[in-house]
Amino acid sequence: VLGIPIVGLIAGTTSVTYYQHQQSNLQAELRGLRDAETGLPTILASLLDAETGVRGFLLTGDRVFLTPFDASTRALPAELRGLTQQVSGNPGLGRIADAVSALAAPRLTTLQRLVARGPAETPEARAAQQELLLEGNDQTNQLRRLIGDLQDEASRQYDEGFASLQHVRLMISIAFVLSVSFGLIGGIAAAILMARGVVRRLHRLEGNARRLAAGEEMLPLPPAEDEIGRLGVAFEDASALLREREALKASILSSIAEGTVVTDLHGRILSINPAMESLAGWPASDVLGKQFAEVYRIVDRDGEPIPWERTRLYEAIASGLTLAPEGYERTMVAADGRRFPFGSTSAPLMDGDGRVCGGVELVRDVTREREIDQLKSSLISTVSHELRTPLTMIQGFSELLVTRSLDATSEKEALHQIRQASERLARLIDDLLSVARIESGRLAVRAEPVDIGVVIDEVVASYAGDRAVSVDLDGCPAALADRDKFVQIITNLVSNAVKYSAPGIPISISARAEGSAVHVSVSDQGIGMDEEELAHLFERFYRSERSEVRSEAGTGLGLYITRSLVELQGGQIWASSTPGEGSTFVFTLPAANERKENAA
Amino acid sequence: VRTMLIADDEPGIRTLVRMTLESDAYEILEADDGEAALAIARMRHPDLILLDVSMPKRNGFEVCRAIKADPRTSDIAVVMLTARAQQADREQGAEAGVDDYFTKPFSPVALMQLVEGIYSKQRSA
C-alpha cells in the first residue's frame, strides 16, 4: 500500500530532474546563441572600421587612419575563433560562421595588401586600388549578408530554443503537479486502505466484545502483532476464563438434585437446571425469558391458582429473605398436566453490592413425603382408634365390676371381656412394633435351613386347637429361612384359617418343591373373600367390612406383616379364594439345598 | 318399657352397653352394621339409638342422616358412640343431626346418666 505514493513520488522526481537537466542544457544553448548574436556585429564593425581606416590612409597617406585597422587586424582572428567556438556543435550556425570566417580572413588579407601598397600615385595603381576596394565592398556586403543570415539563424534558433524551454518548463510543472498528485492520491489511498483494514479489524473486535458480553461464541480473528491483535488475544483470554467459570456454574447448577429456577427481579426466568426440566417437564429452551408464574403454575390446597404476587419466590425477592419449605399443601402443574406436591426454598439473589437482583427457587417433589405424612396421620388416627376400642372395654367392664354388684355370669363375662381386650392391646402393640421394625428396615434376617414339617407341627399344636389339620409335605426339602419369621408366617396364616372358618371344618397345609423354591400353602373351607377383599388383603390396616370379619378380633396388620416377612426372605405370597367356599394362601421361600449347591 | 338400639361392629362394645343399661325398664336391640341398624330403626322405632361411626356397609353418620331425613324415624334420639374424637368428626356428627356425641373410652355410669337424661327429656316433651 505504501508503494503507491512512493512510486508516484519517484516517477515525479525523476521526470522533474530529467526536464530540469534539459532546461539547463537549453538555457546554456540559448546563452551561446545570444552571445553569438551579440558577437557578430562586433566582427562586422571591426572589419568596417578597418576598411574605413584603410580608405582614409589610402586617400591621405596618413598612417593615423590605420589605428582602427591595426586594432581590427589584431582582434579579428580572436573574435573569429571565439565565434567558431561559440557555434561549435551547432551545425546550422557553424556553417554560416565558417562562411563568415572564410570571407572575413581574405577581406582582411585584401586590406593588408592595400595597406602594403600604400597610397596610389599612378592611375593604374589607382584603378587597381579602386578594383580592390570595390572587391572589398562586395566582400563586405557579402559578409554583412552572411552575418545577417547568421543573426537570423541564431535568432530563429533562439526562438526555437526558447519555445523548447517554455515547453520543458511546462513539462516540469506538469511533472511536478503529477508527482505531487500521485503522492497525495497514493498517500490518501494508502491511508484509506490501511484505515479500512484497521476499521474492519476493530469492527470484528467490537463484534467479539459484544458476543462476549452476550455470552456467545466469539469469531476467530486473524493473528496480528499490533495493538488490535493483542486486544483480540486479551478478549479471547477473557472469553476462555468466562467460559470456564460459566461451565463451572452450569455444572454446579446441573449437579443440584433439586429443581432450580433462577429469575430476575420481575420473575423472568434466567436459568433452570436439568432437575427442574425433568421435574416440571419443560425444557430450558421453552421457559427462558418467560415469567416464572406463567410457566410454573402453582395451586393451593383447594386447587386455586396462586398468582405471582403470592408466591414465596416473590416474597423472597421482595423481602430479601430466604424462605424455608413448609408443608405439603401446594402443588405444581407439570407440562403434561400432572400435579405434584412440592416443597421449595425461595431465596433472593444478591449482586456484588448486596442488592437483590433476582431470585432462586429450589423445587423438590414431595409426593413421597406427603404420602408418608398422610400415612403417618392415618396411622395415628387408625392406631388411636384401634387402641380406644379395647381400652373402652377394659375401662367400661372394670368400672361395672367396681360400681355394680353383678351376678356371677355377668361378672365372668366382664372379666373375660377385659382379658380379651388386654390380649388385643398386647397383640396390637406387638404388630405395631413389627410394622415399625419392618418399615425402618431394621428387621434382620438370619437365614438357615428350616425343616418345614417341624415348624408346621409346632404351630398346629399351639394354634389349631382341636381343628383337624392335614399336612402334606411330599418329601419337600428344607427352606432357607429365618426360623422365627417362618414360624410367625405359618402362625398368622393358620390362625386366620381357624378364625375365618367354622369350628370343626378341617384345614390343610401342603409344601412342595418348585424349581429352586419351596411353595407352602394353607387352605381353609371358611367364609372366603370377594375380589375387592383379595385386592386389598395385604395392605396395612386393611380389614374387610363384613361383619363376619369384624366380629373377629384383628388389627388389620397380620397379613401386611406376613407379606413383609415373606418378601424380606426373598419369597412371594398370594391368595386365591371363592366367597363362601374358602381361601388358599400360598407363599414361597428359597429351597435350602439350592443354596448349598450354589455355595459348593 | 323403653326401646334402645346399640349399633356397633364390636361385639365387646355391644356387650358392655347391654350390661350397663340392661334392666326391666329397657329393651335393648343390637345391630352389627349400618344397614342392620337402619332396618331395625325403621322396623322397631326405638326411643334411642347408640351409633358407632366406623361400621361395615354404612357408617354411623350416614345412618344418622337417613334416620333424621325419614319423617317416620326423625324423632328417634341418636347418640354417636365412637372412638373418633376429633373436632372434625364432631362437626360431621352435628351436620348429620346427632342429638349427642359420646366418645370411647366411656364411663358406663356417665352413659347411663346420659341415656336417662334423654328419656326424661322425651317424657317431659
Q: Model ipTM?
A: 0.90
Q: Is B37 on the interface with A (CB under 8 A)?
A: no
C-alpha A275/C-alpha A255 separation (Å) is 8
Q: Could you give the C-alpha distances from A44 to A54, A147, B123, in angstroms and in order?
A: 15, 8, 188
Q: Give the distance, in angstroms, between the CA of residue A30 and the centroid of all CA atoms in the same chain.
A: 80
Place of cell 398386647: A426
- Read off φ and ψ for residue A477, nearest 5 degrees: -70, 170
Query: Looking at the predicted structure, is the pLDDT value of residue A598 above 50?
Result: no
Nearest by CB to B56, from A384, A417, A546: name it: A546
Specify the residue for cell string 386455586.
Answer: A304
Question: Does residue A331 register a pLDDT over 80?
Answer: yes
Tell me whether B54 touches chain A (CB under 8 Å). yes
- B contacts of A421 (beta carbons < 8 Å): 12
**Identity at A22, one-letter amino acid code:** Q
**C-alpha–C-alpha distance, residues B1 and A380, integer Å:** 42
Confidence at residue A551, expressed as pLDDT on a 0 to 100 scale: 64
Question: Which member of B9, B84, B106 has the closest CB to residue A396?
Answer: B106
Tell me the sheet residues that pair with A362.
Answer: A260, A345
Count other Cβ atoms within 10 Å, centred on residue A219. Answer: 10
Secondary structure (3-state) at A587: strand
A400 touching B (Cβ < 8 Å): yes
Q: Give residue A381's pLDDT.
A: 77
- Residue A94, all three cell numbers: 557553424
- Range with lowest mean pLDDT among A56-65, A160-169, A234-243: A56-65
Q: Residues 177-206, chain A: which have Cβ within 8 Å of B?
A: none
Q: Rounded to whole angstroms, how far apart are CA atoms A332 and A555?
A: 37
Cβ of A546 and B84 within 8 Å? no
Q: Which residues of A73-87 are buried (b: 16+ CB within 10 A; e: fewer)?
A: bebbeebbebbeebb
For residue A509, the model assigns a pLDDT of 92
Is the pLDDT score of A600 beyond 60?
Answer: no
pLDDT band at residue A550, thresholds of 50, 70 and 90? low
A549 against A290, higher pLDDT: A290
Q: What is the pLDDT of residue A314?
A: 92
- Give the C-alpha separation, B38 to B50, whole Å: 12
Report chain B residues whose CB lies below 8 A from the CB of A395: 105-107
A413 touches chain B (CB under 8 A): yes
> Per the CB < 8 Å rule, is B107 touching A417?
no
Contact A52, A64 (CB under 8 A): no
CA–CA distance, B79 with B101 (Å, rounded to integer):
6
Contact list in A for residue B33 (CB cut-off 8 A) is 545, 547, 550
State the pLDDT at residue B118: 86
Helices and strands, number each (H, E), in chain A: 17, 13
Compute the distance between CA of residue A15 and CA of residue A24 in angstroms, rounded to an integer: 14
How much is the pLDDT for A134? 78
Question: Contacts of residue B56 in chain A, CB cutoff 8 Å?
Answer: 544-547, 550
Q: What is the mean pLDDT of chain A?
A: 84
CA distance A487 to chain B (A): 29
Predicted confidence (pLDDT) per residue in A381-435, tens digit = 778 878 888 899 999 999 989 998 888 888 999 999 999 889 888 888 888 888 8
- Using the beta-carbon criterion (under 8 Å), do B19 and A397 form an inter-chain contact? yes
Whether B19 sits inside 8 A of A395 (CB atoms) is no
* Mean predicted confidence (pLDDT) in A350-360: 90
Average pLDDT over residues A167-194: 83
Residue B52 near residue B104 (C-beta atoms within 8 A): no
Q: How far apart are CA B50 and CA B5, in angstroms?
A: 6
**What are A366-378's pLDDT values in tens digits?**
888 888 888 788 7
Q: Examine the pLDDT at A209 and tell me if it is beyond 90.
A: no
* pLDDT, tens digit, 9 for 90 and up, residues B20-72: 888 777 889 999 888 899 999 899 989 899 999 888 788 888 999 999 898 88
Burial pattern A395-433, b for ≥16 Cβ within 10 A else e, equals bbbbbbeeeeebeeebbebbeebbebbeebbebbeebbe
DSSP A217: P
Helix (H) or strand (E) holding A288: none
C-alpha distance from A461 to closest chain B C-alpha (Å): 28
Beta-carbon separation of A389 and B107 below 8 A: no
Residue A599 has pLDDT above 60, yes or no: no
Spatial separation of the C-alpha atoms in residues B96 and B78, rounded to whole Å: 10
- Give the span between the Cα atoms of A17 and A35, in whole angstroms: 27
Distance CA B60, CA B45 (A): 17
Maximum mean pLDDT: which of A364-378, A425-439, A531-545, A570-584:
A570-584
The predicted pLDDT at position A4 comes to 67
Average pLDDT over residues A558-562: 90
Torsion sign (Cα): A276, A278, A283, A286: negative
- Match 586617400 to its residue by C-alpha cell: A59
Per the CB < 8 A criterion, the answer to whether A272 and A259 are in contact is yes
A255: three-class secondary structure by DSSP? helix
* 3-state SS class at A545: coil
Q: Is residue A459 within 8 Å of residue A495, measured between CB atoms? A: no
Q: Is the pLDDT of residue A272 over 80?
A: yes
The average pLDDT across A522-527 equals 91
The Cα–Cα gap between B20 and B25 comes to 13
Q: Can you give the pTM of this predicted structure?
A: 0.52
Higher pLDDT, A137 or A486: A486
Residue A273 confidence (pLDDT) above 80 = yes
